[in-house]
Amino acid sequence: MRWLQRSVGLAILGTATLGAVLLWVGVAASDPDPGQRPQQGLLFGVWRVFYDTAMPSGRVLVAAAGVGLLLAAAVAALERRITNRARRSENPHRTPLAPKLVMAQTRGEYAGPVTVTVLIPAHNEEAAIGATLRSLLAQSVPPARIVVVADNCTDQTVPLARAVGVDIFETVGNTKKKAGALNQALREVLPGQGDNDLVMVMDADTTLDQGFLAGAARRMTEDRALMAVGGLFYGEEGAGLIGQFQRNEYIRYQRELKRRRGRVFVLTGTASVFRPRALRAVAAERGETLPGVPGDVYDTIALTEDNELTMALKSLGALMISPPECTVVTEVMPSWGALWAQRLRWQRGALENLGAYGMRPSTFRNWMQQLGIGYGVIALSAYVLLILMMVLATANWVWFPFWLGVGGVFVVERVVTVWRGGWRARLLGLSLFPELFYAMFLNVVYVKGVWDLSLARQASWKHVVQTREGIEVER
């Protein structure tokens, strides 16, 4: 199935390109308004460029808006239908974690009060582990146990964690990075967990807001069919302009999740809480209906193990949410090189996971999400390219009312969606071109991920570590 993995990115980008071409043809085939003649300019002294300062016809605008709304409504309706079918499923072989089945299996049983065991995979995290542990110990509902999963640490991570009084689990012979370390720890922890003895996995560079565990425990207590609770993350302060770009991006991500009423996109590695039943079900299905090695909770081949585990749980019918009371602060990348490495791994990992799972009801939303990103890459690139062409082709500055209006709508959207982030977030949203630059940066990362995947280039994990000397990207 390697050919399928290699073709995922190209299939998504090709479909998005086809849609863009069809729209282009549709607009180009429409007749110009009577009496409206296009003007022309000369690009590089040889290329005649025709342009029209009038806005597109009402028919074209209505058609474009109609197609967009129709597609959005179709995706939303299909996703809702798929979700409802999964919740009502009574097939214990295909969807053993479906709420209807879980409720029937646990009816009349009391699994005891909810407890939380926290696993923190750590590889040379001495710069961040202290703040992470302090945030856990300060929770209004403290965890029953904290375990730092020390994976090939060569710095002061282990002594610092021991000094705080938490448990240490040191991996043995692990070469599978974070997923391999967690698999070793979960083999020790899971057998002794009851149905209400939750397991939380959180990054060593993340701090919890005070009510996180209380919120997660309350949700799990009230709904025994709930299999996982994901954290809503926002960026730490600092790192200048590049840090603000990421904080704005995370604020918009939170806003999107709220609009979905907490329905999970990804149970991120920053902090997610799982019911043991869910993790055991995933381990049991590895090598059967799910990719991976039988008995492993995490697929050690996946570049983005949290994204892959989310797909695995969805495939088994699990109910998952990201409630607004479960928020965490995560690090932001302080340099463009570190951000490039992080996002390339995320993007490449998401595409590879789609290739591993293929098209199935549980991955429908992921495919549509990637298709939307691909279309966005083409649309934004075309927008910037056309602006550049017009600037070079015309001798005098031309104000295009329609495109000024489009730019105005874009600015309003940028500001409104980060409003709760404060004046710095709003000011950056108001400055149109820096946000466009950041969007183009992410688009280039997307294209690079597609390109590397299509050529079957070996991907590296690229762990970003904060050291006393600064940021280091480990391969």
CA–CA separation, 308 and 266 (whole Å): 9
What does the pLDDT look like over 262-295, one tens digit per residue? Answer: 778 889 888 999 999 999 999 999 999 999 999 9
CA–CA separation, 244 and 427 (whole Å): 10
Mean pLDDT of the chain: 86
CA–CA separation, 464 and 475 (whole Å): 9
What does the pLDDT look like over 412-461, one tens digit per residue? Answer: 999 999 999 999 999 999 988 898 899 999 999 988 888 888 877 766 65
Q: Which pair of structure tokens corresponds to residue 10?
A: 């190209």
Instruction: Provide the CB-side half-sphere exposure for 51 (13 A, CA).
Output: 22
- The least confident of 53-62, 196-205, 342-351 is 53-62
- The least confident of 70-79, 301-310, 439-448 is 70-79
Which residue matches tokens 């690079």?
A: 448
CA–CA separation, 54 and 51 (whole Å): 9
Q: pLDDT band for position 306 (50/70/90)?
A: very high
At 296 the pLDDT is 96
Task: Quote the pTM value.
Answer: 0.86
CA–CA separation, 334 and 262 (whole Å): 29
Reduced to 3 states, what is the DSSP secondary structure of residue 301? coil
At 251 the pLDDT is 93
Q: Measuring CA to CA, which residue among 83, 405, 14 is closest to residue 263?
A: 83
CA–CA separation, 220 and 323 (whole Å): 11
Task: Check pLDDT > 90 for residue 16.
Answer: no
Q: What are phi and psi of 263, to 5 degrees?
A: -65, 135
Asked whether 325 and 367 are in contact (CB, 8 A), the reply is: no
Task: Check pLDDT > 70 for residue 141.
Answer: yes
- The least confident of 105-119, 149-163, 223-237, 390-404 is 390-404
At 134 the pLDDT is 93
Asked whether 304 and 293 are in contact (CB, 8 A), the reply is: no
Q: Measuring CA to CA, which residue among 317, 343, 422 is closest to residue 86?
A: 317
Domains of the chain: 1-88 (no CATH), 105-231+267-332 (3.90.550.10)
